[in-house]
Amino acid sequence: MTRIVAAGVDGSPASTTAAHWAAGEALRRGAVLRLLHAWPWLTDGVSSFAEPGDLPAAALQTLEAAAAEVRERHPGLEVRTDAVLDAPVDGLVAAVPVGEAELLVLGSRGLGGFSGLLLGSVSMAVAGRSAVPVVVVREPYEGGAGEGGTVEGGAGEVVVGVDAHSPEEEVLAFAFREAALRGARVRAVHGWDLPPMFGYAGGAVPATEVEQLEALEAKLLSLAVAVQREQHPEVEVVEDVRLGAARGLVEASAGAALVVVGRRRRPIEFGPRLGRVAHAALHHAEAPVAVVPQG
């Protein structure tokens, strides 16, 4: 079966950055790159700024321009293009079902987003609904720290957010596979908060109490990553326990090649689909963020 990495493009600088990052991932995996362009007016040919017959041609031109740039930069990579006949969110989610692609890569803006936002509305919505892992690449992105950092993210660590009290094995497995592909190490970040009773007491929390609690959280983190450590002995692991889950993960993202967070699948379609940690990482992390559906 052909391995595929998909990327959404719309002609914006952010989507171009995402396409090049996706190309690097496809090469790393020995996969095909599939470029997708979704434009809702393709469904009915109605638009106030172009003749109906121009819209499909414009979509194809956007795709071919992106494909040509990617092929020039990544010779030897097989690139396929597809116009998605639907609105961006619904179209991209439907175009990449489970089993047809390993990743869907999007830019942090464009694809219907507003330039003033840190993250476009389409990227956020797709990350919250996609059945496959979604990677959102901030533009501009120059790769992780150290020599060799490129748009493909060849340097730095793979940082994964871990809830040590309820480990997400699918998320951890994804992070370890990504690290193995890159020859990188995993930084497993577990953020924790002081129990509410310390807030009720008022005043400072004794340092000994904090140390004891932190030691317990560190032990839970070690247990949480034990299975993946055993399955990936070639991957170096740094266990990182910090106060504050969202803040700790964002701080750890500096210089990373990739940040990995989980997203629980919801039985209903209404309400927010991303937790606060994933939301914070998508808006504030300094590296590409992979949102992995699980559960």
Q: Do domains 1-141 and 154-295 have the same CATH topology?
A: yes
Query: What does the pLDDT look like over 49-90, one tens digit per residue?
Result: 555 555 667 788 889 999 999 999 999 999 999 988 888 899
Euclidean distance between CA atoms 60 and 58, whole angstroms: 5
* Per-residue exposure over 173-198, b if at least 16 CB sit within 10 Å of its own CB, e if not: bbbbbbbeebebebbbbbbbeeeeeb
Query: What does the pLDDT look like over 268-284, one tens digit per residue?
Result: 454 447 888 999 999 99
Of the listed ranges 166-175, 248-257, 268-277, 283-292, the one predicted with least confidence: 268-277
Domain boundaries, the chain: 1-141, 154-295
Dig out the tokens for 57 from the structure.
């041609």
Alpha carbon separation from 254 to 88, 106, 144 (Å, rounded): 30, 20, 8
Whether 201 shows a pLDDT value over 70: the answer reads no
Is domain 1-141 classified as CATH 3.40.50.620?
yes
Euclidean distance between CA atoms 173 and 138, whole angstroms: 24
Whether 116 shows a pLDDT value over 50: the answer reads no
Whether 186 shows a pLDDT value over 50: the answer reads yes
Q: Which residue has the tokens 């396409």?
A: 19
Supply the pTM of this predicted model.
0.86
Give percent of the chain with pLDDT exceeding 90: 58
The predicted model gives 277-292 an average pLDDT of 93
Whether 27 shows a pLDDT value over 90: the answer reads yes
Q: Of 3.40.640.10, 3.40.50.12370, 3.90.226.10, 1.10.1200.10, which CATH number belongs to 154-295?
A: 3.40.50.12370
